[in-house]
Amino acid sequence: MNSRIFALVDCNNFYASCERVFNPKLENEPIVVLSNNDGCIVSRSNEAKELKIPMGAPYFKYKELMNKNGVHVFSSNYTFYGDMSRRVMKSLRMLLPDLEIYSIDEAFVDLSQYRESNLVEISEEIKEKVKQWTGIPISIGIAHTKTLSKVANSIAKKEKESSICDLRKIEKIEEELTILDVEEIWGIASGWGKRLKSIGINTGYDLMKANPEYIRQKISVVGQRIIMELNGYSCIDIERVQKKKSIISSKSFGYKVTEIQEIKEAVSTYAARACEKLRDQKSRVQVISVYLRTSPFEKEDSRYAKSETKVLSTPTSSTAKVITAANKIIEEIYREGYRYQKTGITLLNLINEDYVQESLYEDRSLEREEKITTVMDQVNMQYGTNTIFHASQGTKKDWRVKSDSRSKKYTTSLKELPLVK
DNA sequence: TCTGGGGTCCTAGGACCC
DNA sequence: TCTGGGGTCCTAGGACCC
């Protein structure tokens, strides 16, 4: 049978491991990393996991437990983690060219061409090299489909010594799926999990043996596909094109905001950030969507959430154009009297920048605007983010998020290089 | 007091057309 | 006044992922 072979490479406890790379004293110490605004726990070292601190839990609920146990707490430092991620992915790509970067800390690899080789041996080598080059420990799961390689990877993580799992033998697949809760399967979360359990499907093995047509009715074609994948038929391929189809920029405020002026500053800042990402991938945007909301944990009569979508007259990558449109939406959806928690913008219907060039340049003002944007990008690249920015983004920025315990930008800021004493 | 941010995909239902 | 089916496109919302 000419079946495919996939590997899922996953960095172990990625953000926590990044913090360790330049701070070796943290070896064997419990670490957690918090989300923006120091809101939730988003990464835990093994030692922190042993203290039963759950993933995604609100920080304030576990503060005491962590103090008591001497847990090292870090605010998130995405500039640093992003750079470490690039190093890991670059290392992987040198060793395994047919690679899909799936998230900041994971990559899928097509290993079909290595079917005659000893894949466990190859994986050992890759693991060693990545650790040596970047300081980051990884786990590797090997299987005939992406979904099964996810399962393999979670098994690899539990095997403390090897961190590698080859899950290609049918007996082993069935054995492992029998002891795997159905909600642990990639693509099944608690919503569908509950639905499946109510019809007697409790484990990965139950789902593997379920009737695909029936599951399609109960869930959707997504569920059907998962069953096929569990049975070794590959339905989800490596994604080789990696342009984003939508770009989001959103953040909670550092405190509850009531004034429209501050909200406009925030949304202008996020719009600028989103447009930078847009130009990075050489696209233009045709549709934008902006939302504004209070905390969902407010009492019901003080809750408010609204979003509005706008089609732009011409596809653009100009920050000024997008800021103007975004602020117009804020004016439409803002209501006085609420304590707002968060706003954000999504760029949608992205197209390739060269696709529109001709018609675009009939309008000379657009050409001028693009030149301004290009110059701004260059200045900010050279002298640091937000050296120049649009006036609408504001200069006070009281609404900005807080992050009390951020580590240094060891790898991206000259001022914050680690010192060797 | 304090609960993240950035993505993708699928479906149902309405508008509209012939 | 009665009275149709079939197709496409778009959007909102809901599910999932890390």
Footprint of strand C on the protein (CB under 7 A): A 102-106, 150, 185-193, 309, 311
End-to-end CA distance of chain A: 58
* Neighbouring C-beta atoms of residue A378, cutoff 10 Å: 10
| pLDDT for A302 | 87
How far, in Å, CA of A289 to CA of A248, rounded? 9
| A271 in Cβ contact with A319 (< 8 Å) | yes
Q: Which nucleotides of C are covered by protein (CB under 7 A)?
A: 11-12, 14-18
Decide: helix, strand or coil at residue A134: helix
* Whole-number distance in Å between A195 CA and B12 C1': 19
- What is the CA A8 to C1' C18 distance in angstroms? 14
Q: Which residue is nearest to nucleotide B4 (CA to C1')?
A: A35
For C16, which residue's CA is nearest its C1'? A187
Q: Which nt has its C1' nearest the CA of A103?
A: C18
CA of A311 vs C1' of C6, distance in Å? 30
DSSP A40: B
Give dist(CA A240, CA A201) in Å, integer: 34
**Distance measured from the CA of protein residue A243 to the C1' of nucleotide B17, in angstroms:** 34
CA A295 to chain centroid, in Å, comes to 22
- Taking the C1' atom of every nucleotide in all shown strands and the CA of A248, the nearest one is B6
Distance, CA of A9 to CA of A138 (rounded, Å): 7
Using the structure, give the distance in angstroms from the CA atom of A397 to the C1' atom of B13, rounded to a whole number: 43
Q: Gap from A187 CA to C15 C1', in Å?
A: 9
Q: CB closer than 7 A to strand B: which residues?
A: A 35-37, 39-40, 42, 56, 58, 60, 103, 216, 220-222, 244-252, 256, 273, 277, 295, 297, 341-342, 344, 401
Sheet of strand A106-110: strand arrangement: A99-103, A106-110, A6-11, A138-143, A164-166
| Lookup: nucleotide whose C1' is closest to A253 CA | B4
Mean pLDDT, each 10-residue run in order, chain A (421 residues): 89 97 95 93 96 94 95 95 97 95 97 94 97 97 98 92 94 98 97 95 98 93 96 95 91 92 94 94 93 88 88 90 93 92 93 68 64 75 70 72 73 73 59
What is the distance between the alpha carbons of residues A77 and A335, in angstroms, rounded to a whole number? 34
**3-class DSSP string for A394-407:** CCCCCCCCCCCCEC
Q: Which structure tokens are listed for A89?
A: 């992915």
Bridge partners, A41 (sequence order): A34
Q: Which nucleotides of B are covered by protein (CB under 7 A)?
A: 1-11
Give the per-residue pLDDT at A372: 75
Tokens, residue A261: 């002026």
Q: How many Å from the CA of A224 to C1' of B6?
A: 27
The SS3 of residue A132 is helix
For residue A316, the SS3 value is strand
Q: Nearest nt (C1') to A14 (CA)? A: C18
Residue pLDDT, tens place only, A168-188: 999 999 999 999 999 999 999
Taking the model in full, what pTM does it have?
0.91
* A60 CA vs B1 C1’ separation (Å): 10
Q: Which nucleotide lies nearest residue A187, CA to C1'? A: C16
Cα dihedral A251, A253, A259, A263, rounded to 10, equals -20
Alpha-carbon span A16 to A42, nearest angstrom: 9
Structure tokens that stand for A387 in this block: 């050296």
